């Protein structure tokens, strides 16, 4: 292995270490606790090393969001693949999406709540963002009626899921009715 290859591998490993530390710290203490100073101490590198990888906290949060979308895409793909029908796939995607948000609130916030410098809903969006959306689209597209735009219907379904997650997390919707809400959402979307 050449010295250049080794340096590139070590750089990628340091970058992953930074992102992982940020995710873990955010999940345990919240995003306010994630600072470059704190991350430098956590991973035992200097702040200039962090800045050689990322411009600052916002860039780190964007990297976390991209990885989170990749994780979400994998979970949504598995849920959709394990479903036996169109309506079941929609229900599985809805349940998996909301479960992901509930299990990983700080990661979800980086992905869909906090302002991050990532292009969404454009061809320039990172592959992981496109993959996560494609999994939701894969569940919604089969229920799209003639004349409807599958992408816009998918955005609407996603917005409904995000709204449920946000309202439940903030205590504005009681959690005990979550399954009923998901069933109603799926029924309305899956009904021609």
Tens-digit pLDDT profile for residues 64-88: 999 999 999 999 999 999 999 999 9
Of all residues in the chain, the percent with pLDDT exceeding 70 is 99
Q: How far apart are CA 167 and CA 65, in angstroms?
A: 21
Predicted confidence band of residue 34 (pLDDT cuts 50, 70, 90): very high
Asked whether the beta carbons of 26 and 67 are under 8 A apart, the reply is no
Cα distances (Å, whole numbers) of residue 64 to 59, 108, 149:
9, 10, 31
Predicted confidence band of residue 192 (pLDDT cuts 50, 70, 90): low
Task: Give the range among 28-32, 61-65, 169-173, 188-192 with minimum mean pLDDT.
Answer: 188-192
pLDDT in tens, 105-149: 999 999 999 999 898 888 999 999 999 999 999 999 999 999 999
Does position 1 have pLDDT exceeding 70, yes or no? no
33 token code pair: 């606790």
Its pTM stands at 0.93
């Amino acid at each position: 292995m050449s010295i250049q290859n080794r340096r590139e591998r070590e750089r990628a490993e340091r970058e992953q270490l930074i992102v992982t530390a940020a995710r873990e710290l955010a999940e345990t203490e919240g995003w306010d606790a994630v600072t470059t100073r704190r991350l430098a101490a956590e991973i035992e590198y200097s702040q200039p090393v962090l800045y050689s990888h990322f411009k600052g906290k916002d860039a780190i949060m964007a990297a976390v969001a991209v990885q989170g979308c990749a994780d979400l895409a994998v979970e949504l793909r598995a849920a959709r693949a394990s479903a036996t029908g169109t309506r079941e796939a929609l229900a599985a995607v809805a349940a998996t999406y909301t479960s992901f948000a509930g299990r990983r609130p700080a990661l979800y916030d980086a992905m869909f709540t906090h302002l991050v410098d990532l292009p969404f809903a454009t061809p320039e969006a990172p592959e992981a963002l496109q993959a996560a959306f494609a999994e939701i689209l894969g569940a919604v597209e089969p229920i799209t009626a003639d004349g409807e735009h599958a992408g816009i219907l998918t955005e609407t379904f996603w917005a409904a899921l995000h709204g449920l997650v946000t309202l439940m997390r903030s205590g504005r919707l009681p959690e005990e009715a979550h399954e009923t809400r998901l069933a109603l959402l799926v029924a309305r979307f899956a009904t021609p």
